[in-house]
């Protein structure tokens, strides 16, 4: 069974780009446009990995991450931060990687592959 990735980003273009990228490489994807929606999706879909934007109009990435880390079922889900913010690596210190937009697709795929296979 293919691994499932939850893509959280308010930018439709980034969502569809990441969706295509992961889809082409054999992953299943689900999407959410901000942190509040993402929590519901994560609970229902139980993704194997999450890519997380930080700045979103509703609930920001770090707040989503806090909720995620409080959930017994989801707290071990690996998270990759993908954001254009300054010094974004400090936002979620426990993330497995932090990529700055524009990011390198090869690098992202490598990290995903190393993490969930």
Partner 1 sequence: MFKKILLATTGSPASFGAARVAFDMAKRYGSEVTIFHVVGVPTKAFSHVVNDVRTGEEVEIDEEYLAWVEEELKTTFAKQFEGADNAKIVLTTGVPAREILREARKADSDLVVMAASSGENASFHKGYPGSTLQKVAKAARCPVLSVHRESASYWGGFSNILFGTDFSKQAESAFKFALSTARELDCDLTIFHALDISGKVLDQNEIEENLIIARKRIREAYVPLMGDFKNYDIEVWEGTPYVEIVKLAREKSVDLVCLAHHTNELDPERARIGSTVEQVILRANCPVVSVSKPDKV
Residues that bind partner 1 (CB under 8 A): 35, 54-56, 59-63, 65-66, 69, 86-93
Nearest to partner 1 of 14, 54 (CB atom): 54
CB of 42 to partner 1, least distance (A): 17
Which residue number, 69 or 115, has a Cβ lying nearer to partner 1?
69
Residue 63 C-beta: closest distance to partner 1, Å: 5
Cβ at position 53, least distance to partner 1 in Å: 11
- Give the chain's largest Cα–Cα span: 37
CB of 21 to partner 1, least distance (A): 26
Burial of 107 (0-12, 13-18, 19+ CB in 10 A): exposed
Secondary structure, 3-state, 70-105: HCCCCCCCCEEEEECCCCHHHCCCCCCEEEECCCCH
Q: Please say which residue, 8 or 112, places its beta carbon nearer to partner 1.
A: 8
């Amino acid at each position: 069974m293919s691994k499932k990735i939850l893509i959280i980003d308010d930018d439709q273009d980034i969502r569809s780009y990441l969706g295509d990228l992961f889809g082409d490489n054999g992953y299943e994807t689900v999407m959410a446009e901000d942190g509040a929606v993402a929590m519901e999706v994560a609970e229902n879909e139980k993704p194997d990995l999450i890519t997380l934007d930080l700045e979103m109009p509703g609930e920001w990435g770090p707040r989503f991450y806090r909720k995620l880390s409080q959930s017994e079922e989801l707290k071990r889900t690996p998270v990759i931060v993908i954001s254009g913010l300054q010094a974004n690596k400090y936002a979620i210190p426990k993330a497995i990687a932090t990529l700055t937009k524009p990011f390198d697709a090869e690098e992202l795929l490598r990290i995903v592959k190393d993490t969930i296979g």
